[in-house]
C-alpha cells in the first residue's frame, strides 16, 4: 500500500496590496483545519518575496505523516494518538506505520521484522572505519560518518530505478544498522570488545545486548528497562518539520540517497538546541549537585531571574500547554527507577525539581511542565547510558520519521529542489582595489 497525501481544500482567497497593486492568493486548509496562504506565485507576480526568519510562520511542505497541535497538547502519527501508540504499539510497528502509512497486518509486520533482522549486521569492512576514529570522537560524529560509509556497500542506493524498487530493503537496513553502529561506537569509545547482534532478540533488546553484554556473557535484560527504551524510541519517532527532519527533506529534494539524507539529519540533530536537549538536562542537574543544592535554591534563582540560571527540560517551543509525550514517559520513568533501585544524587535532584515545578504557581502559570527530554534523560542515566550517547538514542528513535519524510519527498511528483530566497544586505557594486592602494 502506498502512503498518500490528501489534497488540501481550497478555501477562499487572501488579498495583498503591494505598491498600490491588489493581488489575490488562495488559501488552503489541511485535514485538521490548519490554514495556509499559497504564495507560490508571489515573486513571479510582484518581484517580492516574504521574510520569515527560522521559518516559524512558513509551511515548507504538505505532509501526511505527523500532526501536532501545540495549543491542545496533541501529537498523532498518521492519525493515531501518541498515547494510544505508546500503550499498545512497539517501536518496530510504529516505524512501519510512519513509513508506509498504515498499521501492518500480521504478515506485513513479520516481513518487516525479518528485513530488520536480516540487515542488522554491518559489512565486515566497516570495522576498519571504526578503527580510524580516535577514542575521543563523539558518538554522533561516528554515527553520521558511518551511516554514509554504510551506503558505500550498497551502490544501488544511488540508482533511481533500483532505489525505488529496493526502498523497503534500504529503509529496514538503515533502521536496523543505526542501532548496530551506535552500539559499536559506544563500545569503541570505552575500549570494550565488539558485541554482535542476536537474531533471537527484538529490536530494543538487541540494542541493549550490543551495548552492555560481554562477548562471553549476555547481560540480563529487565523488561521494564526494555519497555522504557522502546517507549523513548516511539515518542521520538517523528515530530513534524523540526530542524533535523527539515534537513532530511532538504537534502532529499536534491535526489540524494536515503543514507546521505538521514546522515545530514544526524548532523542537524547533534545541536544542543535540538537533540542535545536531554543531555542539557543532565548537565543542569550536575551543576546543581556540585553546588550542594537539592534543587530548591536553583529554582528560586530561576524564579527571581538571578545568576543567569537556565531551566532545562521544562516547557516546549511547540507545546504551549503540556508535552503529551512527557505525560506518557513519566509513568515509565517511575517504574524504571522503582525497579532498578538506583541510588543517584542527580536523580534525587530531578525528582525535587519535578515536585516543586508541578506544585508551584510560578511554573504552573507559565506552563513550565517537565517535557519529554527531562524524563528521557533521567531514564537513560538510570539504565547506564552515558550522557554523550543521549543524542544518539534520539537519532535511533527519529530514524523512521526521517525515512518516512524522505519517502514522501521521493513519492511527490511535483517536488522541486529546495532553494530559499534571501534579502541581500551587503555592499553595493565596488571596484577592485589593487594591493598597493589598500589601507
CATH code at 357?
1.10.230.10
Has residue 251 got a pLDDT over 60?
Answer: yes
Query: Residue 98: inside a domain, yes or no?
Result: yes
What is the predicted pLDDT for the residue at 319?
Answer: 87
What is the predicted pLDDT for the residue at 161?
Answer: 63
Query: Residue 160: inside a domain, yes or no?
Result: yes
CA distance 310 to 304: 12
Are residues 198 and 317 located together in one domain of the fold?
no
Are residues 84 and 204 located together in one domain of the fold?
yes
Are residues 31 and 87 located together in one domain of the fold?
no
Q: What are phi and psi of 29, to 5 degrees?
A: -125, 125
CA distance 288 to 297: 9
CA 407 vs CA 111, 120, 144, 262: distances in Å: 19, 21, 20, 12
Q: Residue count of the chain, please give it.
A: 439
What is the predicted pLDDT for the residue at 343?
Answer: 78
Query: Residue 429: inside a domain, yes or no?
Result: no
CA 116 vs CA 120, 123, 180: distances in Å: 6, 15, 11
Query: Residue 29: inside a domain, yes or no?
Result: yes
Q: Which CATH number is 103's domain given?
A: 1.10.580.10
The mean pLDDT of 270-285, rounded to a whole number, is 86
| Residue pLDDT, tens place only, 136-187 | 889 999 999 999 999 998 877 766 666 778 899 999 999 999 999 999 989 9
Which residue, chain included where needed, has cell 562477548? Answer: 215
Query: Residue 407: inside a domain, yes or no?
Result: no
Give the residue numbers marked as catalytic: 316, 373
Are residues 209 and 134 located together in one domain of the fold?
yes
| Residue pLDDT, tens place only, 295-338 | 999 999 999 998 888 888 888 888 887 889 988 998 898 889 88
CA distance 259 to 311: 35
Are residues 147 and 211 located together in one domain of the fold?
yes
Query: Residue 393: inside a domain, yes or no?
Result: no
Are residues 265 and 283 located together in one domain of the fold?
no
| Residue pLDDT, tens place only, 330-383 | 889 888 988 888 878 888 898 899 889 889 999 988 888 888 888 898 899 999
The mean pLDDT of 189-209, rounded to a whole number, is 93
| Residue pLDDT, tens place only, 394-427 | 999 999 999 999 999 999 999 999 999 999 999 9
| Domain boundary pick from 341, 367, 387 | 387
Are residues 260 and 363 located together in one domain of the fold?
no
Query: Residue 430: inside a domain, yes or no?
Result: no
Are residues 262 and 349 located together in one domain of the fold?
no
What is the predicted pLDDT for the residue at 9?
Answer: 63
Are residues 281 and 260 located together in one domain of the fold?
no
Q: Which CATH number is 35's domain given?
A: 2.20.28
| Domain boundary pick from 236, 269, 302 | 269
Share above pLDDT 90 across residues of the chain, in percent, rounded to a whole number: 60
Has residue 103 got a pLDDT over 80?
Answer: yes
| Domain boundary pick from 238, 269, 300 | 269
Indicate the number of domains in the chain. Answer: 3
8 — pLDDT class (breaks 50, 70, 90):
low
Query: Residue 436: inside a domain, yes or no?
Result: no
Are residues 263 and 285 located together in one domain of the fold?
no
The mean pLDDT of 226-242, rounded to a whole number, is 96
Which residue, chain included where needed, has cell 497541535? Answer: 69
Has residue 281 got a pLDDT over 90?
Answer: no
Higher pLDDT, 7 or 261: 261
User: Which residues form the domain of 307?
Assistant: 277-387
Mean pLDDT value across the chain:
91
Are residues 315 and 358 located together in one domain of the fold?
yes
Least confident of 6-10, 55-59, 228-232: 6-10
Are residues 139 and 260 located together in one domain of the fold?
yes
2 — pLDDT class (breaks 50, 70, 90):
very low
Amino acid at each position: 500500500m502506498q502512503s498518500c497525501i490528501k489534497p488540501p481544500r481550497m478555501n477562499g482567497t487572501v488579498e495583498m496590496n503591494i505598491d498600490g497593486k491588489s493581488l489575490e492568493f488562495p488559501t488552503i486548509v489541511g485535514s485538521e483545519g490548519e490554514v495556509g496562504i499559497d504564495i507560490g506565485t508571489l515573486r513571479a507576480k510582484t518581484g517580492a518575496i516574504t521574510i520569515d526568519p527560522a521559518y516559524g510562520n512558513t509551511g515548507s511542505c504538505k505532509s501526511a505523516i505527523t500532526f501536532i497541535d501545540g495549543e491542545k497538547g496533541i501529537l498523532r502519527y498518521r492519525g493515531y494518538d501518541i498515547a494510544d501508540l505508546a500503550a499498545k504499539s512497539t517501536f518496530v510497528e510504529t516505524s512501519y506505520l510512519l513509513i508506509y502509512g498504515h498499521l501492518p497486518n500480521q504478515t506485513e509486520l513479520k516481513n518487516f521484522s525479518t528485513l530488520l533482522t536480516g540487515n542488522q549486521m554491518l559489512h565486515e569492512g566497516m570495522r576498519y572505519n571504526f578503527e580510524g576514529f580516535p577514542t575521543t570522537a563523539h558518538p554522533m560524529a561516528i554515527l553520521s560518518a558511518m551511516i554514509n560509509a554504510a551506503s558505500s556497500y550498497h551502490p544501488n542506493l544511488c540508482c533511481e530505478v533500483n532505489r525505488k524498487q529496493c526502498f523497503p530493503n534500504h529503509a529496514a537496513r538503515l533502521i536496523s544498522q543505526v542501532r548496530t553502529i551506535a552500539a559499536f561506537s559506544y563500545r569503541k569509545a570505552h575500549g570494550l570488545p565488539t558485541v554482535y547482534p542476536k537474531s533471537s532478540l527484538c529490536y530494543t533488546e538487541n540494542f541493549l545486548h550490543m551495548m552492555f553484554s560481554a562477548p562471553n556473557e549476555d547481560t540480563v535484560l529487565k523488561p521494564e528497562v526494555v519497555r522504557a527504551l522502546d517507549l523513548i524510541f516511539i515518542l521520538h519517532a517523528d515530530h513534524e518539520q523540526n530542524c533535523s527532519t527539515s534537513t532530511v527533506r532538504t537534502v532529499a529534494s536534491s535526489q540524494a540517497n536515503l543514507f546521505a539524507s538521514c546522515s545530514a539529519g544526524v548532523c542537524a540533530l547533534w545541536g544542543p538546541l535540538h537533540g542535545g536537549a536531554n543531555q542539557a538536562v543532565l548537565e543542569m542537574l550536575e551543576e546543581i549537585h556540585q553546588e550542594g543544592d537539592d534543587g530548591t535554591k536553583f529554582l528560586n534563582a530561576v524564579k527571581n531571574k538571578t545568576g543567569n540560571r537556565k531551566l532545562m527540560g521544562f516547557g516546549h517551543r511547540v507545546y504551549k500547554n503540556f508535552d503529551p509525550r512527557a505525560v506518557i514517559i513519566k509513568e515509565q520513568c517511575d517504574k524504571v527507577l522503582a525497579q532498578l533501585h538506583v541510588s543517584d544524587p542527580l536523580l534525587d535532584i530531578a525528582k525535587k525539581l519535578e515536585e516543586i515545578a508541578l506544585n508551584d504557581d510560578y511554573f504552573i502559570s507559565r506552563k513550565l511542565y517537565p517535557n519529554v527530554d527531562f524524563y528521557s534523560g533521567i531514564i537513560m542515566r538510570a539504565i547506564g547510558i552515558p550522557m554523550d550517547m543521549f543524542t544518539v538514542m534520539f537519532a535511533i528513535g527519529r530514524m523512521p520519521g526521517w525515512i518516512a519524510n524522505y519517502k514522501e519527498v521521493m513519492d511527490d511528483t511535483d517536488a522541486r529542489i529546495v532553494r530559499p530566497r534571501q534579502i541581500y544586505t551587503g555592499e553595493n557594486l565596488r571596484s577592485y582595489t589593487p594591493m598597493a592602494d589598500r589601507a
